[in-house]
A and B are shown apart, each in its own frame.
Chain A
């Protein structure tokens, strides 16, 4: 049976178990760090407190994120992380990230300006958190999910392999995600 515990409650000694998610160790005792249900992962002999509240979002390698492109340079793109997909809470720390030109696509990209533009909203995978946040948009599901016309700031629509402005007819190229223009925001 899982027991409800509160911050500071004693769970075990550190001889018996390892301190896992939602716990901390102090003077040889493992204690709860949050409200939740205490249980032991038998395989790893780890004490875990499964949260019953929402918990802060700590960015991890492998997370899928939504980011906004802030600048496009010759060898990389800088972006601000807006959201970790599947999480309710804001990112609890650094949100400045970069996408190196070699991480944009599986195809060769000479200059990021060919496929990204200032203000684009992209879906990306976190490939490094420390010392700096690095993203990748390789793969069909990653890349731009929302872009505005660089001339008139009107939303671009997908037309064949290009994006087209439905107001001024301007055509632009992007590394788009497979669901460009069809995003269901309720599952972000």
Chain B
């Protein structure tokens, strides 16, 4: 499958450094302490935060800080072939690395013995759900008034369009935010999450094949993507709470 043409235009018409369309809305659920609805290309994600509340069972408590439990879950109908409900190895792994990334920015020592539960539901999936999920979770955490040092954000870059000639990888382009076919037929994917204020890397995964130079390009591109998405997160939060602000003035 030809994923990118000679002029650097991708299947869906994007340039190499263009994101898919992203829409973020903060505070969408009634029951949760904080929540977020996010559309990223064909991905639709809801995130909800509960807590900090006393962690149960008690043996999971940390006497000096809160534990952060992110739970990434895909709806059965969110993928081409129906997924059996419930966690699998992939979703457990994503939950773990997401929890760790979020914990880094949350000021957890304010809440000894508590858990902060972050639920990420993928309702519609189309490549890049872990980045979409973490980005939504960060907005939900802020919406829940959880003290944080920064609002984390995630984005991926990758490589598409390389050919293998006589066992040698030839050509290919480093691009931002892989779409569905790019994810399936591309050469590499590099999802990252950062704290945008310091550019500290909170999550980093990679699969595929990149040269060191391509990795540098991809990381740089993913960082740029993160900063664009970060602005959208901030706008979503300001949009939600600006009316309150005006009332207060």
A–B touching in complex (CB under 8 Å): yes
Binding site for B on A (CB under 8 A): 1-2, 4, 6-8, 22, 24, 26, 31, 33-35, 37, 51-56, 58, 89-95
- Point out the residue from A37, A53, A56 that lies within 8 Å of B143, measured CB to CB: A53
A22 and B147: CB pair below 8 A?
yes
Q: Please give me the residue from chain B that is nearest to A89 by CB atom.
A: B33
B interface majority secondary structure = mixed
Bound together, the chains give a CA A54 to CA B109 distance in angstroms of: 19
- Point out the residue from B34, B105, B110 that lies within 8 Å of A53, measured CB to CB: B34
Shortest distance from the beta carbon of B64 to any chain A beta carbon, whole Å: 11
- Point out the residue from B53, B149, B241, B245 that lies within 8 Å of A7, measured CB to CB: B149
Chain B 231-249 interface residues, beta-carbon cutoff 8 Å to A: 234, 237-238, 241-242, 244-245, 248-249
Bound together, the chains give a CA A95 to CA B111 distance in angstroms of: 12
- Point out the residue from A4, A22, A91, A94 that lies within 8 Å of B241, measured CB to CB: A4
A95 and B148: CB pair below 8 A?
no
Question: Which residues of the other chain, B, contact A52 by a CB distance below 8 angstroms?
Answer: 241, 244-245, 248
Indicate if B142 sits at the interface (CB-CB under 8 A). yes
A92 and B53: CB pair below 8 A?
yes
Q: Please give me the residue from chain A that is nearest to B147 by CB atom.
A: A33
- 14 A–B contact pairs at CB < 8 A? A1-B249, A7-B149, A24-B147, A34-B148, A35-B142, A53-B142, A53-B145, A54-B144, A56-B51, A89-B33, A90-B51, A92-B114, A93-B111, A93-B114
Shortest distance from the beta carbon of B50 to any chain A beta carbon, whole Å: 8
Bound together, the chains give a CA A22 to CA B147 distance in angstroms of: 7
Q: Please give me the residue from chain A that is nearest to B53 by CB atom.
A: A90
